[in-house]
Amino acid sequence: MTPDLMEAGAERVARHAHHIDQALQTESGGRAAGYGRHATGEVDVTHGRILYLEDVSVSFDGFKAINKLSLDIAPGELRCIIGPNGAGKTTMMDIITGKTRPDEGTVFFGSTIDLLRHKEAEIAQLGIGRKFQKPTVFEHLTVFENLELALKTDKGVKASMMFRLDSAQADRLAEVLHTIHLEDSVLRLAGNLSHGQKQWLEIGMLLMQDPKLLLLDEPVAGMTDEETARTAELFLSLKGKHSLMVVEHDMSFIRTISEIVTVLCDGAVLAQGTLDEVQADERVIEVYLGR
């Protein structure tokens, strides 16, 4: 991504924060002030939240994997989520993306889109991209073909064969290639890439659809130190333009990219703050960091 794009994103967030501050200072508290819709595409982020979960719970065979979880994310934010194995981090992503239905609670994308009323495929279409831990690129296709494929929304055979990039899409593809550092590998088969490069390619495939919110589950697991450092740079460059939720166990990676860190434990938020703040929290040390 070009620096001017990043700057534009950062500016948008700053402008937006200013609007919210102003609105909160009104007598009505701002919520009903109607100071003009400030939407990112079709997502209404007027209230300063691109993702909003409240009192979400889900049980599997009587075990509460998510237990009255409440959490929200600001537009353009890069939120890190940490917590012990089994805390419910992946399950939370399953709920946001419509893979798992919660038993109760509220899940909103912006202030108007009730995600619990949408199916998994619709949620992806709405602009929520998800990266699972294992890379899922098409190994027998080139980097270029993988990125091109990500644009094909009509999966019919005929539509796919007739598909040609228009110039805006070609520009986007070039921009994404640059962002994910794979310009020099554009004609290589995805199967011949390193693990880290496959992960970047998959992130690139998500970026081709210009998601508003990206959910990334343990993106640097299995990466070399150098790949991890590059991934940190990549995420920092995406911040502002996209909103990101990153689940990771790698604390030095979290330290490099994080602003606010949310600690999940037993399906709920145990602590939230800067990494230094949560690392100093006795409860967090006990359940996670101190082990």
- In the complex, the residues that contact Mg ion under the rule CB under 5 A are 89-90
CB of 268 to Mg ion, least distance (A): 16
> In this structure, what token pair is assigned to residue 285?
């040390």
CB of 93 to ligand ATP, least distance (A): 8
Among 40, 46, 90, 199, binds ligand ATP (CB under 6 A): 90
Cα angle value 9/233/88 (rounded, 5°): 85
For 2, counting Cβ atoms within 10 Å of its Cβ (0-12 exposed, 13-18 middle, 19+ buried), the class is exposed
E strand or H helix at 268: strand 268-273
Conformation bin of residue 75: beta by default, left when phi > 0, alpha when psi is -120 to 50: beta
* Sign of the alpha-carbon torsion through 156, 161, 166, 169: positive
CB of 93 to Mg ion, least distance (A): 8
Q: Is 53 in the site for ligand ATP (CB under 6 A)?
A: no
E strand or H helix at 95: helix 89-96
Among 52, 73, 74, 91, binds ligand ATP (CB under 6 A): 91
For 61, counting Cβ atoms within 10 Å of its Cβ (0-12 exposed, 13-18 middle, 19+ buried), the class is exposed
Which is closer to ligand ATP, CB of 22 or CB of 136?
136
Which of the listed partners (ligand ATP, Mg ion, none) does 105 bind, with a CB threshold of 5 to 8 Å by partner kind?
none
Which is closer to ligand ATP, CB of 64 or CB of 255?
64
Q: Is the separation of the CB atoms in 181 and 200 below 8 Å?
A: yes
Among 89, 130, 172, 242, binds ligand ATP (CB under 6 A): 89
Among 68, 86, 145, 229, binds ligand ATP (CB under 6 A): 86
Which is closer to ligand ATP, CB of 147 or CB of 254?
254
Q: Is the separation of the CB atoms in 79 and 262 below 8 Å?
A: yes
Q: Is the separation of the CB atoms in 230 and 196 below 8 Å?
A: yes
Q: Is 35 in the site for ligand ATP (CB under 6 A)?
A: no
Q: Is 97 in the site for ligand ATP (CB under 6 A)?
A: no
Of 47-55, 84-92, 136-144, 250-258, the segment contacting ligand ATP by CB under 6 A is 84-92
Compute the distance between CA of residue 218 and CA of residue 132 in angstroms, rounded to an integer.
8
Among 43, 87, 275, 284, binds ligand ATP (CB under 6 A): 87
Among 41, 60, 152, 224, binds ligand ATP (CB under 6 A): 60
Which is closer to ligand ATP, CB of 151 or CB of 221?
221
Q: Write the DSSP symbol of residue 267.
A: T
Return the amino acid letter for 34.
G
Which is closer to ligand ATP, CB of 38 or CB of 64?
64
Which is closer to ligand ATP, CB of 31 or CB of 99?
99
User: In the complex, which residues of this chain contact ligand ATP (CB under 6 A)?
Assistant: 60, 65, 83, 85-91
